[in-house]
Amino acid sequence: MTTVRGARARARIEITAAIKDEARAQLAAEGAAKLSLRAVARELGMVSSALYRYFPSRDDLLTALIVDAYDAVGAAAERAAAEAGAERPLDRWTAVCRAVRAWAVAHPHEYALIYGSPVPGYIAPQDTIVPASRVGLVLIDIARRAHTGEGVALPPLPEALRPEADRIRADIAPDLPPALAVALVAAWSQLFGLVSFEVFGQFHRVVEDRDAFFATAARRLGRDVGLLPRG
């Protein structure tokens, strides 16, 4: 009986992976808004009722793909941070940013699913929050280590921004100064703005050496967070 259950579990894993792979192919061909469980089932040679046992609705399948994408880019960021662990904070920051960009360029349709236009009629559930936080948490950790180590260099926080800064700090990093929390949110949004411009073609005929351009821009974002250059 244990052997049978194990075979069933393996089969379920394999079929789930095949469904996701076909759904990703549809994302690349048609976009997320046109994702269809019936079309996925047809391409896999399944009846729709069989596929519904794995994903009861289109939104369930979308959520699974979204979680996978967030986990993949998050894992890329975490690996880059670990591999650059002996480097100075600014170098670790740049390495993480470059890893995020590399993943996005290699997986443009999955990137578009999580950072592109919202899918009509789809509301992301709570299940997506933790995976979506992984890249941000890596960047916060780099800033935190710098703050408690060699320190960070940030300009004074404008008084008009202090209430919002206090709220942001309470939400994302209660142990960090408000100015650093604000700088992190700004840098995080600018990082994905840079990546999105490249992935969605906005740099066409504007930026040619995109590797050098991005590395410089990512390093500047680290400086904006107060990370100190190599002395």
Q: pLDDT tens, 148-201?
A: 998 999 989 999 999 999 999 999 999 999 999 999 999 999 999 999 999 999
**Beta-carbon count within 10 A of 138 CB:** 23
User: If we measure between CA atoms, which residue out of 98, 24, 110, 17 comes closest to residue 70?
Assistant: 110
The structure tokens listed for 189 are 């949004």
What mean pLDDT is reported for the chain?
Answer: 93
Residue 200 CB: number of other CB atoms within 10 A?
A: 15
Cβ burial 26-49 (10 Å sphere, 16+ → b, else e): bbeeeebeebebebbbeeeebeee
In angstroms, the Cα distances linking 199 to 9, 71, 110, 194 are: 37, 19, 11, 9
Give the pLDDT confidence score for residue 1 in this predicted structure.
53
pLDDT of 226 reads: 96
Residue 8 pLDDT > 80: no
- Judge if pTM exceeds 0.85: yes
State which amino acid sits at residue 172: I
CA atoms within 13 A on the CB side of 152: 27
Q: In this structure, which amino acid lies at residue 122?
A: Y
DSSP the chain: -HHHHHHHHHHHHHHHHHHHHHHHHHHHHH-GGG--HHHHHHHHT--HHHHTTT-SSHHHHHHHHHHHHHHHHHHHHHHHHHHTTTS-HHHHHHHHHHHHHHHHHH-HHHHHHHHSSPPTT----GGGHHHHTHHHHHHHHHHHHHHHTT----PPPPGGGHHHHHHHHHHH-TTS-HHHHHHHHHHHHHHHHHHHHHHTTTTTTT-S-HHHHHHHHHHHHHHHTTPPPP-
Across 140-144, average pLDDT: 97
Amino acid, res. 46: M
Q: What is the mean pLDDT of residues 94-123?
A: 95
